[in-house]
Amino acid sequence: MRRKPITKRQQQKGWLMMTASFALIITSIVSLYTFREQARKEMGERAEVQADAISAIRTAAEILVFEHYVDYQEGVPITRGGVTLSFGNAPGQALQPTVAQLRQMNLGIEGASDVGSYKSLTEGGYSITINRTPAGCEASPSGVDCNISGLVCTDRPVRDYSAPAGEVDSFGIGKMLARIGGNAGASMLGGAGEIVSTGASWTAPNPIAGAPEGIVCARFGFGVAEYWNFLRVRDSRDPNFMNDVTLKGGLHVKSTAAYGGACATDGMAMWGNFEGNSVWLQCKAGRWEPGNGLTYKTEGSACAQDRDFAITTDNIALVCSNGKWVSQARAGLRTAAYYQNNSAVPIPACTAGLTPSAVVSAVSASNIIGSNNPGNNTGSFQATINSAWRVSIVGSGGQPAGSNAMALIMTFCNP
């Protein structure tokens, strides 16, 4: 049977169908590629978010170490924000703080989660380890030879559940390392299980049990050499400055000393208390003395060197006289008054360390010679004051003077 020839119209229709099929195939391939790239981009962004969380925890741990560098060297408990970490290498102690503890210490990670957010990490958390290096440095005085370093790591490998069992998510790990930067490291496939930095510039032991592959870490730390010449928060060393130091603002001195107590280093200054008053104390000759250049003493108390000066807490000047601290304000002349013969002179009230005394300064009479003043009919007179502080005025013959004769008596408080 003879075939009918294919018409030109039929040929055009066939080519149109083939072209449409090819176009559909190409479109499908492009769509699949676009979908995969979009999914890959989203996974990359999620990995970077996870990397940012690791970096934030690393920064918090680094702040803790920086502020308490000396405490870590000395191996003593760490206290911040009302939270105290006992010193040790167990979870929750100073060398293995938790994310929750760092968060409670107000180290800038408020709201940070204790668990991860990327693939397999959603089932785990983080490992924070702090070390004193090199080995044996803690045996140096106060651990001053110790460098303090640490790692913040995922506590399990980064795995992709869609990949064959045992394989790590190399794509996600690569994104995290790039995001964290030069302080990033990971345990590598085919390696010895140690943490290796992105540029292989440093390595560290893998802190996760079994040293599995796929652990991502961020490193932090401080060395003795780089910070030795700088004062640090909670630094216990003496800076031994060789010139004046100017402060803008107040100086808060927490330490206090006891007035008169023993001190070790002359020139040291602290706040103290003397007779209920706050005073600035300075170490002088092994004892805490007021740092304002004055010595605070009590009237009547013993003193060592005559002519030394002191002051009471109510600002009365004292002088050392005959082994006693004497008030300059209440020493010397107390009264000056005229008294008749046989009059009693009031004894002044003297403070501790002073003794009352009296002297006759002068004698006067309106009528020395004559019947009104028979004791002085020769024109002469004498006046004294006895131990009972009674005045006696007599003439040259020993007869008492009349009422017109007066003696000027001056009373004193003397050392």
Assigned token pair, 180: 């964290």
Could you state, in order of their start, the residue ranges of all structural domains in the chain?
30-227, 269-327, 332-414
pLDDT of residue 61: 96
Comparison of pLDDT for 22 and 106, the residue scoring more: 106
Region 207-213 average pLDDT: 93
Mean pLDDT over the full length of the chain? 82
Both tokens of 299, joined, read 């009237």
Judge contact between 345 and 390, C-beta under 8 A.
yes
Dump the DSSP string for 121-133: GGG--EEEEEEEE
β-pair type (216-222, 381-385): unpaired
Over residues 361-388, the mean pLDDT reads: 66
Higher pLDDT, 321 or 33: 321
- Res 201 pLDDT > 60: yes
pLDDT value at 33 more than 70: no
In this prediction, residue 198 carries a pLDDT of: 82
Q: Is pLDDT at 86 greater than 80 in this prediction?
A: yes
pLDDT band at 293 (very low <50, low <70, confident <90, very high): low
pLDDT digit string, tens, across residues 177-193? 999 998 999 998 766 78
- By the 8 A CB rule, do 82 and 11 touch? no
Would you state the pLDDT for residue 35? 47
Which pLDDT tens digit goes with each residue over 90-126?
999 999 999 999 999 999 999 899 999 999 999 999 9
| Cβ pair 204, 217 in contact under 8 A | yes
Mean pLDDT of 191-199: 84
The span from the CA of 415 to the CA of 398, in Å, is 34
244, pLDDT greater than 70? yes
Report whether pLDDT(376) > 60.
Answer: no
Low-confidence winner among 26-35, 67-76, 180-189, 239-248 (lowest mean pLDDT): 26-35
What pLDDT, on the 0 to 100 scale, is given for residue 257?
A: 87
pLDDT of res. 72: 93
pLDDT of residue 233: 66
Higher pLDDT, 293 or 141: 141
Pair 304, 324: CB distance under 8 Å: no
Rounded to whole angstroms, how far apart are CA atoms 186 and 203? 9
- pLDDT at position 22 is 62
Top-ranked range on mean pLDDT: pick from 98-112, 224-238, 257-271: 98-112
Helix (H) / strand (E) containing 327: strand 324-327
Given a cut of 80, whether residue 375 has pLDDT beyond it is no
Q: What is the percent of the chain with per-residue pLDDT over 90, rounded to a whole number? A: 35
SS3 8: helix
pLDDT at 149: 93
